[in-house]
Amino acid sequence: MPVSVDMLQIPDWSDLGGFLPETVMFGAFLLALLGDLVVRRRPVVPFAVVMAGALTALAPSFAGLDAPERTILGGLVVVDGMAAFFRILFSLIAVATLLVSWASEEIMGRTRENKGEYYALIALMTGGMMVMAEARDLLMLYLSLELVSLSSYVMAGYMRNSLRATEASLKYVIFGAVSSGVMLYGLSLLYGLTGSLTYVGVRDALAAGAGDPLSLLTVCVLLLAGLGYKIAMVPFHFWAPDVYEGAPTPVSAFFSVGPKAAGFALMIRFFYTTMQPAVDRVDWRLLIAVLSVATMTFGNLVAVRQVNVKRLLAYSSIAHAGYLLMGFLMLTAEGLQAILFYLLIYALMNLGAFLFVVALNNSLKSEHLDDYAGLGFRSPWAAAMMVVFLFSLTGLPPTAGFIGKFYLFAAVMHEGWYWLAIVGVLNSVVSLFYYMKIARTMYFTKAPADAPAVPIAPLHYVTLVLLAAPTLFLGLYWGGLKDLADRAVQHFTAL
């Protein structure tokens, strides 16, 4: 087996300059753990450390948006505009998750233990997700994925006295272990076919004709098992509703946006770089198109029947993975821009919707739809913001969700996948029904006379506004964000 030259690259210290945001996040993780050890029972220390880390990581990320591609750390990691975009996205998601968690009873309730570790894990996962978006080597692909997965198992089981959370965590572990095992097998096959671990090496080998259609199809399917599980794609989605329902709501919020976006980043870089030359032998675009239709249709249809809001949002997040996959298989700059654009907006609106659930859970101690009756009048401002998130998730103007979907559909139409676009828009209509189910309960159903008051923590109010305002504003003027997404892919060489 020939040893490729870039495997022999020795990492040098200057590489760390390009790896700054991750270094900061991993540093924040260690500091938070250490801080938690030194100052016991003061979760504010790890909270502040991680918050500072996430905010610090933003500056170098913005600076890297226009940077050309640069390989570092011995060729394991690539830094470019797209990596910078995802770093920004993950930092913002981390900030929002921190704010959501800090005022949540589920996380900060008096009986909870290990609050410090919880915040440390957010830092670790954020760093891991950033690496996922930068991996350009099969080894790094697997390592970063596992880093994120392992920390998620712990986070899902954070409420260790709760039966539901423990069950969720266990399910997650088992499902995750199987998926990554399957994927590892796929990776080993791919290595066997091409003799290289780097994306570039794999690509060149595939372009030179390595691999027959059947084995390449096997590789694709096996890899999609591992990656599909991360983005909750049908048929690897089974864990999602249970985990989202069982895990503490702030954690579900985090899972539904962070690892999903990271999974997409990983998929984009892997498939666009390595599998593009193999498109003539294995039509993985069609495979993903079918999976995309299955994912959105299944997610939407099952969501219609849900009465638990967390579970409903879980199925909705499955459906959204389906929409995103449409853009993914276009293999065009337009599709890629649409995905990045949508991921950021999706993070805003989905975190917002989950935050509403978190904020109410503090006083309602329930996520059942029936307990939301009359919230439109019991808590008018928060409910109004929830309506903004729901409309945005449906994809109705004048919210950002519409613009995001518009770009996705435009990319799909431009490539001539008309049937896919039609399935996509009809799915949006189905989704309207269940999103409006929440709005209907909040506004059209009268609250029972003994309905408890629903005070909302001030920090939650602030965070709701911080998420709702851009959701609305980006629906009216999104030029700046679109430019950001366009800049992020301008140097993406795999297109």
Partner 1 sequence: MADHLLSWMTFAPVIGAAVIAGLPGRYKDLTKWIAAAATAVPLLLAVQLFLQFDRATAGMQFTEHYTWIKSFNIEYFLGVDGLSVPMVLLTALLSFLCIIASWRIEKAVKGYFSLFLLLEAGMMGVFCALDFFLFYVFWEVMLLPMYFLIGIWGGPRKEYAAIKFFLYTLAGSVLMLLAMIAFYYNVKDPVTGGHTFNMLHMMDQANHGGILDLANVRFAIWMGLFIGFAIKVPVFPFHTWLPDAHVEAPTAVSVILAGVLLKMGTYGLLRISYPMLPDQAVGFMVPMAILGAINILYGAFCAMAQTDMKKLVAYSSVSHMGYVLLGMSAMNEVGINGAVLQMFNHGTITAMMFLCVGVIYDRAHHRDINGFGGLGLQLPVYTSVFSFALFAAVGLPGLSGFVSEAMVFIGAFPTHRTITIVSALGIVVGAAYVLWMLQRVFLGEKNAKYDSLPEISARELFTLVPIGIIVLVLGVYPMPVLDLMKVSLNHLIKVVAG
- Site of interaction with partner 1 (CB under 8 A): 376-377, 391, 396-398, 402, 406, 409-410, 413-414, 418, 421-422, 425-426, 428-429, 432-433, 436, 439-440, 443-444, 477-479, 482-483, 486
Judged by CB, which is closer to partner 1: 66, or 212?
66
State which amino acid sits at residue 396.
L
State which amino acid sits at residue 437.
K
Helices (H) and strands (E) in the chain, counts: 21, 2
Judged by CB, which is closer to partner 1: 181, or 448?
448
CB of 479 to partner 1, least distance (A): 5
Alpha-carbon distance of 298 to 245, in angstroms, equals: 18
The three-point CA angle 22-41-104 to 5° equals 70
CB of 307 to partner 1, least distance (A): 16
Q: What is the dihedral of CA 418, 423, 426, 427, to 10 degrees?
A: -140
Q: Report the first-to-last Cα separation within the chain, whole angstroms.
A: 29
CB of 17 to partner 1, least distance (A): 31
DSSP tag of 236: S
Q: What is the dihedral of CA 285, 290, 293, 295, to 10 degrees?
A: -100
Alpha-carbon distance of 382 to 103, in angstroms, equals: 15
Judged by CB, which is closer to partner 1: 184, or 436?
436
CB of 414 to partner 1, least distance (A): 5
CB of 417 to partner 1, least distance (A): 11
Q: Which of 91, 86, 69, 93 is nearest to 18 (CA)?
A: 69
Alpha-carbon distance of 126 to 41, in angstroms, equals: 24
The three-point CA angle 350-352-354 to 5° equals 70
Task: Determine contact, residues 52/89, Cβ cutoff 8 Å.
Answer: no
Judged by CB, which is closer to partner 1: 238, or 418?
418
Judged by CB, which is closer to partner 1: 270, or 402?
402
CB of 405 to partner 1, least distance (A): 9
Judged by CB, which is closer to partner 1: 85, or 402?
402
HSE (side-chain half, CA atoms, 13 Å) at 453: 3
CB of 494 to partner 1, least distance (A): 22
The three-point CA angle 243-271-174 to 5° equals 25
Judged by CB, which is closer to partner 1: 11, or 398?
398
Consecutive H or E run containing 77: strand 77-79
Alpha-carbon distance of 347 to 254, in angstroms, equals: 9
Judged by CB, which is closer to partner 1: 257, or 400?
400
Judged by CB, which is closer to partner 1: 189, or 301?
301
CB of 62 to partner 1, least distance (A): 19
Alpha-carbon distance of 258 to 97, in angstroms, equals: 10
φ/ψ of 165, rounded to 5, equals -70, -40
Task: Determine contact, residues 80/18, Cβ cutoff 8 Å.
Answer: no
CB of 260 to partner 1, least distance (A): 24
CA distances from 385 to 180, 338, 465, 469 (A): 38, 25, 8, 9
Judged by CB, which is closer to partner 1: 213, or 397?
397
Judged by CB, which is closer to partner 1: 158, or 402?
402
CB of 366 to partner 1, least distance (A): 22
CB of 368 to partner 1, least distance (A): 18
DSSP tag of 242: H
